[in-house]
Amino acid sequence: MNHFRQITEKLNAYALDGMLLTGEANRFYASGFHSIATDGAALVTRGKSYYFTDSRYIEAANRYVQGAEILMVSRGRGYAVLLEEAIRRHRLHRLGYEDATMTVADFETYRKALSCEMIPATRLLLELRRVKDEEELQNIVSAQRIAERALEEILNEIRPGVTEREIAARIHYLILHYGAENKSFDPIVLTGANGSLPHGVPTDTKIKNGDFVTMDFGCIYNGYCSDMTRTVAVGFATEEMQLVYNTVLSAQKAGIAAARAGVTGREIDGAARRVIAAAGFGDHFGHSFGHGVGVEVHEAPNAGPGSEQRFPSNTVISAEPGIYLPGKMGVRIEDILILREGGCRDVTKAAKELTIL
């Protein structure tokens, strides 16, 4: 799977002769081949696409990259040299680049070495990536199924005396065991008062009876991410815990009911936020309702209060409202949604009614 053709078809709309891709995520999106950090570059022109890499990846690139000429950089013939040769060959005058991710140092190197004008064009890739094709959607669903298998198993290991760090390590093992390529991000596992930290880091804090345990994790399958959060209680849940949990769940359901192609992120976020505010917890929900999920676990578009752009069909977003009470607890519940005309598909099958282990 690659998207060279789709990028080529967008060049005219952005008045570009070509698009240079040096960032890890967009390079993968274009070529379907993953290499780390800056270890590669892709060039898309109207007539031909290229993939450049070094000796560590050249054999694999030749095996997996289709629809592009593959060239190896070497000492004295680095990326800038090979790019300049292609630029002259195709007479490129306006070359798009990833202004959102390219460093100033790399930009200056390319600007001095290439005989064309470099045009900021991150938006071209953002526009393409926000709409998923069927293969991309299936990869996201497959990643989600792996994460759900890990969740089902890890629930049997959550008990008093086990630490956040131990649960996080087991989640990482389980997603790999069940077929993931990697984790989408470092698993977040927080218990008790630590749960008020939305993106807290697992510690050696031990789980106790009467604690909430929040687990936020995902995995990568065929280059595409999943993202899921579940919060469970251990031993018992107080009335306050139940109120907080049920408020978050009601807010999530309200946001999901509002989620469909053609609406804005602000509208979806607002449906959930009103539920939390009405319950008296409005000051304790600081982040957005959701974010885009795809090649990256956090990508455009954002479903938040400031999101005014209308979502197209086949946009994938998370649905993750939360309430965070400093010194007490935190609750977050997260699913993944595929937006369609007239509604959405919630691809997350894991149970989300309050579970007391």
**pLDDT tens-digit map of 108-145:** 999 999 999 999 999 999 999 999 999 999 999 999 99
The pLDDT tens digits for 74-91 are 999 999 999 999 999 999
Tokens 């993953």 locate to: 34
* Residues contacting 215, CB < 8 A, separation 6+: 151, 154, 167, 171, 187, 188, 189, 229, 230, 231, 232
In this prediction, residues 301-308 reach a mean pLDDT of 96
Q: Which fold has domain 4-129?
A: Creatine Amidinohydrolase; Chain A, domain 1 (3.40.350)
pLDDT score of 154 more than 90: yes
Percent of the chain with pLDDT over 70: 100
pLDDT value at residue 138? 98
* Residues contacting 150, CB < 8 A, separation 6+: 171, 174, 175, 177, 178, 217, 219
Single-letter amino acid, residue 103: T
Task: Give the span between the Cα atoms of 110 and 88, in whole angstroms.
Answer: 14
Q: Which fold has domain 134-346?
A: Creatine Amidinohydrolase (3.90.230)
Position 37 confidence tier, pLDDT thresholds 50, 70, 90: confident
In this prediction, residues 18-26 reach a mean pLDDT of 97
**CATH 3.90.230.10 domain residues, the chain:** 134-346
pLDDT score of 190 more than 90: yes
Position 1 confidence tier, pLDDT thresholds 50, 70, 90: confident
- Helical spans, DSSP H, in the chain: 4-10, 24-31, 58-64, 79-90, 104-113, 122-129, 134-154, 164-177, 239-258, 265-278
**CATH 3.40.350.10 domain residues, the chain:** 4-129
Average pLDDT, whole number, for the chain? Answer: 97
pTM above 0.85, yes or no: yes
The pLDDT tens digits for 205-236 are 999 999 999 999 999 999 999 999 999 999 99
| The pair of three-digit structure tokens given for residue 246, joined into one six-digit string | 């049920």
pLDDT value at residue 121? 98
**DSSP assignments along 231-273, one per residue:** EEESS---HHHHHHHHHHHHHHHHHHHH--TTSBHHHHHHHHH
pLDDT score of 39 more than 90: no
- Contact call for residues 97 and 22 (beta carbons, < 8 A): yes
How does strand 117-120 pair with strand 94-97? parallel
**184-211: burial string, b at 16+ Cβ within 10 Å, e else:** bbebbbbbbbbbbebebebeebebeeeb
In this prediction, residues 179-203 reach a mean pLDDT of 97
- Contact call for residues 33 and 52 (beta carbons, < 8 A): no
